[in-house]
Amino acid sequence: MPDQTARGNSKRGFDVAVIGGGMIGPALSLGLLARGLRVCILDEGDDVLRVARGNFGLVWFQGKGFGMPRYVDWTRRSASLYPDFAAELKEFTGVDIGHANPGGLELLLGEEELAHRQHFIGQIYQQGGGKDYEVEFLDRKQVDEMLPGVALSDEVVGASYSPIDGHVNPLFLLRAMHTRFQQLGGTYLPQHRVSGVRKNGAAYDVMTEAGTVGAGKVVIAAGHGLKELGPPLGLDIPIRPQRGHILVTERTKQILPMPMSAFRQTAEGSIMLGVSAEEAGYNDQVDTATVAKIAERAARTIPALRGLNIVRSWAALRVLTPDKCPVYAESQSHPGIYGIASHSGVTLAAVNAKVAANWIAGDPPPDEFQAFGVERFDA
């Protein structure tokens, strides 16, 4: 056990201090604990931007990695690790994160959307997704065959489909990871807002509102917090917030056999509707006009949805890099300090726990990381 009483409020003796208790920090921490390392998670309170509690819950492959084939690979790898990751969480925590991999569709309304999607997916294919890029286009008849019992509107002309796509209950995922973290002896420290990191011999002092925490390595998985914490530590990563809205309907009988990018039905029967993208700074308030737009599109796609009551809606702020691809970087000026940024914390949870964590533990970086550095943003 780390000595928590040695110097007043100071907590020392951690191998790794992970800043951020959202989707990325706990996933990485599970992998670090599996290596026998002493790990703490420094988290804030409930009054901060909690991106990890606003997720849609897709484990999504198709369309990711435009301009970066390595991100296609990384996403595919996470999807392939998900079944075991979910099974392990269930076995040890009792929490069923509801992972399912039935494939996924992006339904396209009208020929223009179809052409646009074909062009977009075609470019990812040409950029190096290659012949193994598991996304195909279905015509309307094929879509209907895949969705028996769903009455699509006449506007639906087809869909892009990937067998790799799936979904998960993101709140159960978060809870399961935190439960497992504590089971494995991790130290969770809420109300530890970090103000900065200082070198202390061969290790680092992390200054928090609740005292100093000492650790050999520091991982900044703090979502939007990276913007402030990173630059003094050689991790100037140009992330920005992008707001997204989600609506949830009352529970219905199971009708949607697979997630459809903008819709998915949860194991409990709710239908979640998304997903918007607005530039709204750090404003995470719900915008009713956007909510109406999402609902209207849903009803245009599956008219029967029009009769369902919306029981909840919320907005959350994606952590977006300029190329929408993730950053996994070790600081050049401060070796042993790592910055992680991604808006795909749910999709990448499995690969973060099973692969990325080993890199922080000291293993050579996985091949994909050649593309995930910060140098790519240098003008």
Partner 1 sequence: MLKRRHSNAEVVRITVDGETVEARAGESVAAAVLAHTAGATRTTPVSGAPRAPYCLMGVCFECQMVIDGVPNRQACMIRVRDGMSVTRQDGARDLEGAPGGGA
Residues in contact with partner 1 by the rule CB under 8 A:
151, 250-255, 268-269, 299, 303-309
Of the pair 303, 365, the CB lying nearest partner 1 is at 303
Of the pair 13, 257, the CB lying nearest partner 1 is at 257
313 strand-pairing partners: 247
What is the nearest approach in angstroms of partner 1 to the Cβ of residue 255?
Answer: 6
What is the nearest approach in angstroms of partner 1 to the Cβ of residue 260?
Answer: 15
Of the pair 35, 90, the CB lying nearest partner 1 is at 90
Q: Are strands 240-249 and 310-320 parallel, antiparallel or unpaired?
A: antiparallel
Of the pair 98, 345, the CB lying nearest partner 1 is at 98
Give phi and psi for 141, each to the nearest 5: -65, -40
Of the pair 267, 275, the CB lying nearest partner 1 is at 267
Q: Can you read off the two tokens belonging to residue 131?
A: 């012949």
**Of 213, 243, 271, 216, nearest in space to 43 by CA:** 213
What is the nearest approach in angstroms of partner 1 to the Cβ of residue 298?
Answer: 12
**Of 272, 354, 351, 279, nearest in space to 54 by CA:** 272
Contact 219, 341 (CB under 8 A): no
What is the nearest approach in angstroms of partner 1 to the Cβ of residue 263?
Answer: 13
Cα–Cα distance, 345 to 320 (Å, whole number): 12
Of the pair 5, 309, the CB lying nearest partner 1 is at 309
Which of 196-230 are b and which e, b meaning 16 or more Cβ less than 10 Å from the residue's Cβ? ebeeeeebbbbbbeeebbbbebbbbbbbbbbbebb
Give phi and psi for 39, each to the nearest 5: -130, 135
What is the nearest approach in angstroms of partner 1 to the Cβ of residue 105?
Answer: 18
What is the nearest approach in angstroms of partner 1 to the Cβ of residue 304?
Answer: 4
